[in-house]
Structure 1
Amino acid sequence: MYSSAAAGLILVVGLVTFFTGHWSSVPFYTKSTADYPAHPITLVVPYAAGGGTDITARALVEASQPYLSQPITVVNRTGGGGSIGLMEGANAQADGYTVTYLVAELTTLPHMGLLPITYEQFKPIIQTNYDPSAITVRADAPWQTADEFLSYARTHPGEVKMGNAGTGSIWHLAAASLEQATHVTFTHIPYEGAGPAVSALMSGFVNAVPVSPAEVKTYVDQGKLRVLAINGSERSQALPNVPTLQEATGYAVNFSGTWRGLAVPKDTPDEIVQILADAFTRGAEQQEFRQTMADHGLGLLIRDRDGFRQQLQQSHDLYARLIPELGLSRK
């Protein structure tokens, strides 16, 4: 004979088994999709507070908040050149409550053996930003045009010192792409970020940098630096009077620049992704957000889910080829 306690235990186990089996055939997100969002959302930013990525993320959250019924909390997860935050975002539960602000390093670090995931672990929501490379020299440099600069580099191989934000960084790759396309040779000088590279240019330790318009605009406005060309398909909103490289020289360089955009884990239901896309798209349309981007010299580029996915794949494929060619892969 079973005791009453044992019988009760058997009944509970049976009921749990029944309901577990019953609900296992129902998608886990059925109810959560209907109620979404039912509690606050976390936005993972893979860089430190105060930087361009963080500033953009917080401005977008503030502008988008009125279009969601729950608050959005920005959390900075730094380390590994962005890899810590990207990993956390990719491995989060696919329920729409963890959104990640993707950065261009998601498509470079995997090919360098520094990130065990790719963009395929995410489902894109919206792209909000794109910044091309701005080929920049001191205002007192002897080169007035990009043609003059490249002609000198071509006839004096290795003499031009090109500062960058670190070996393998997006701006190192920008300079390497420029070399390949224009048949010149630079001496690459790495620094711990774009800011120190620009400081080195200001001090005369390097001859040029290939960083974003946002990172040199203040000094250009002060007359201390000169941007020779924008390495992108269009002119920069921050520096509209500067020609593209193709306009200035005829060279079209296949470099995808740096960009930012929102995504969720790949298995997140499309219904939830669309709710987020609608809210953040409306936020990106607000004047306050656009003004913040303009004030910081950041390029505003809004692409929907499909457009952002194309950007991710384009960048991934480009660096899959370029990084091994440069001998930067640690795989």
Structure 2
Amino acid sequence: MTYQIDPRTTLRPTTAAAVAALVLAVAVSGPARAEFPEKTIEMTTLFGGPAQTTSQVLADLMSKAIGQPVITVSRPGGGGAIGYTYIHSAAPDGYNIVFSSNSISTVYWQGKLPFNYAELAPIAQTGVEVPVLAVRADAGWKTLKDLQKAAKESGKKLRVGVSGLGSFTHLASAALFDRLDIPVVYIPYGEGRAPAELLGGRIDAALQWSSQFAPHVKAGTIDVLCMTSKEKVKLAVETETCDSQGATGLDLTIWRGLHAPKGTPPEVIAKLQDAAKSAVASPDYAKAADNLGFTPLYKSAADFGSMIAESDKEIGQLMTKLGINKVSK
């Protein structure tokens, strides 16, 4: 845009200054920046099973709240390392986010990631999942104390199935059986394989999400002995806390939430956070929680970030105790 001034016109100093300021503002402002979001947002999912289903429900509800499609894109592998690496290298513009969990800490302390949780920007916590301890119904163990007594009398190591060595279920299992003073051997299996491994007799016990065991509990082939949270919560199966049955002080849960690349503008984080808050508060999310066996829980970006820092420290300490901390001793 060009401004012309009639040379016959005499401008007063204040008028001349105003015109100069206007010309400068037009010259440097450039085109207006579009307001976020103006296109589809991708939510990276790291795992299959209930976690993937939960992320899809969350994405659909966030789409309604934020006014643009939020779609899930599966990027599994490396215990979450592949998905976290993708997000870490993505543009910090809010259009790539990840459905995150404690796995950001486990893969870091295993040495599978060159960065930790602090290199991603927290958006919001969206839920918590509580693992449960399950055994075959024909084992005859109806309580945690039954299992503890039988394991000690057998003189053999209890075969405990875990998602993978260094996984959260491995850490939670170690914390549980250390408290019970039971010698165990950990047997890793593929994702979602806990019921099949139990029923096939390849393991004696498994710590996994209640939704995996619910159909088998109903069929009478698997018994769930306890949950790993300190406080009893509503799950897909009815059970008591491990803490109340002798594993005193046990309180280990999986948090679920959302992260963006570090450097994402605060105003963008705020919009994503608000969309997540709206989704978590919705009846549809509560219904999904009942079906999938998790507990809706919202925390703001700031509170979420503080909680992760504490969780990461605890996980690092547990992995050091197990001898699988590859970052520091």
Q: Name 2:205's counterpart in structure 1.
A: 208
- Work out whether residues 63 and 69 of structure 2, in 8 Å CA contact, stay in contact via their aligned partners in 1: yes
Matches within 5 A, 1:123-138: 123-138=121-136
- Work out whether residues 124 and 262 of structure 1, in 8 Å CA contact, stay in contact via their aligned partners in 2: yes
- Work out whether residues 96 and 268 of structure 1, in 8 Å CA contact, stay in contact via their aligned partners in 2: yes
CA apart distance, 1:154: 4.1
Aligned pair partner of 2:62 in 64, 82, 92: 64
CA apart distance, 1:155: 4.7
Aligned AA (1:35): E
Q: Deviations over 1:280-319 (max 9, x none)?
A: 2111222222212221223322222233223322321112
Instruction: Provide the rounded CA distance (Å) in 2 between the counterparts of 1:118 and 1:173.
Output: 18
Aligned AA (2:225): L
- Work out whether residues 131 and 213 of structure 1, in 8 Å CA contact, stay in contact via their aligned partners in 2: no
The 3-state SS of whatever aligns with 1:243 is: coil
The 10-residue stretch of structure 1 (303-312 or 112-121) with the greater mean CA deviation from structure 2: 303-312
Matches within 5 A, 1:87-236: 87-156=85-154, 158-193=156-191, 195-236=192-233
- Work out whether residues 54 and 292 of structure 2, in 8 Å CA contact, stay in contact via their aligned partners in 1: no
List alignment gaps of at least 5 residues for structure 1.
1-18
- Work out whether residues 64 and 284 of structure 1, in 8 Å CA contact, stay in contact via their aligned partners in 2: no
The 10-residue stretch of structure 1 (164-173 or 246-255) with the greater mean CA deviation from structure 2: 246-255
The 3-state SS of whatever aligns with 1:108 is: helix
- Work out whether residues 77 and 85 of structure 1, in 8 Å CA contact, stay in contact via their aligned partners in 2: yes
Instruction: Provide the rounded CA distance (Å) in 2 between the counterparts of 1:199 and 1:109.
Output: 26
User: RMSD over aligned Cα, in angstroms?
Assistant: 2.4
Instruction: Provide the rounded CA distance (Å) in 2 between the counterparts of 1:235 and 1:325.
Output: 27
Q: Name 1:248's counterpart in structure 2.
A: 245
Aligned AA (2:274): D
Aligned AA (2:179): A
Instruction: Provide the rounded CA distance (Å) in 2 between the counterparts of 1:31 and 1:319.
Output: 45
Instruction: Provide the rounded CA distance (Å) in 1 between the counterparts of 2:303 and 2:207.
Output: 26
Percent identity, aligned pairs only, is 26
Aligned pair partner of 2:265 in 255, 266, 269: 269
- Work out whether residues 157 and 184 of structure 1, in 8 Å CA contact, stay in contact via their aligned partners in 2: no
Q: Name 1:6's counterpart in structure 2.
A: none
Aligned AA (1:121): E
CA apart distance, 1:175: 1.1
Q: Deviations over 1:60-81 (max 9, x none)?
A: 1111212212222222112222
Instruction: Provide the rounded CA distance (Å) in 2 between the counterparts of 1:181 and 1:70.
Output: 48
Aligned AA (2:51): T
- Work out whether residues 189 and 206 of structure 1, in 8 Å CA contact, stay in contact via their aligned partners in 2: yes
Aligned AA (1:150): Q
Instruction: Provide the rounded CA distance (Å) in 1 between the counterparts of 2:188 and 2:155.
Output: 18
Q: Name 1:294's counterpart in structure 2.
A: 290
Aligned AA (2:47): Y
Instruction: Provide the rounded CA distance (Å) in 2 between the counterparts of 1:241 and 1:81.
Output: 29
Instruction: Provide the rounded CA distance (Å) in 2 between the counterparts of 1:321 and 1:31.
Output: 49
The 3-state SS of whatever aligns with 1:235 is: coil
**TM-score of the superposition, structure 1-length normalised?**
0.83
Aligned AA (1:174): A
Aligned AA (2:227): I
Instruction: Provide the rounded CA distance (Å) in 2 between the counterparts of 1:31 and 1:230.
Output: 53
CA apart distance, 1:156: 4.4
Asked whether 1:44 is paired with 2:44, we answer: yes
Q: Name 1:312's counterpart in structure 2.
A: 308
Instruction: Provide the rounded CA distance (Å) in 1 between the counterparts of 2:249 and 2:100.
Output: 26
Asked whether 1:278 is paired with 2:274, we answer: yes
Describe the shift of the 1:69–1:197 C-alpha distance in structure 2 as closer, same or farther (beyond 3 A): closer
**TM-score of the superposition, structure 2-length normalised?**
0.84
Instruction: Provide the rounded CA distance (Å) in 1 between the counterparts of 2:233 and 2:203.
Output: 24
List alignment gaps of at least 5 residues for structure 2.
1-23
Aligned AA (1:105): S
- Work out whether residues 45 and 55 of structure 2, in 8 Å CA contact, stay in contact via their aligned partners in 1: yes
Describe the shift of the 1:326–1:266 C-alpha distance in structure 2 as closer, same or farther (beyond 3 A): same
Aligned length: 301
Aligned pair partner of 1:73 in 55, 71, 74: 71
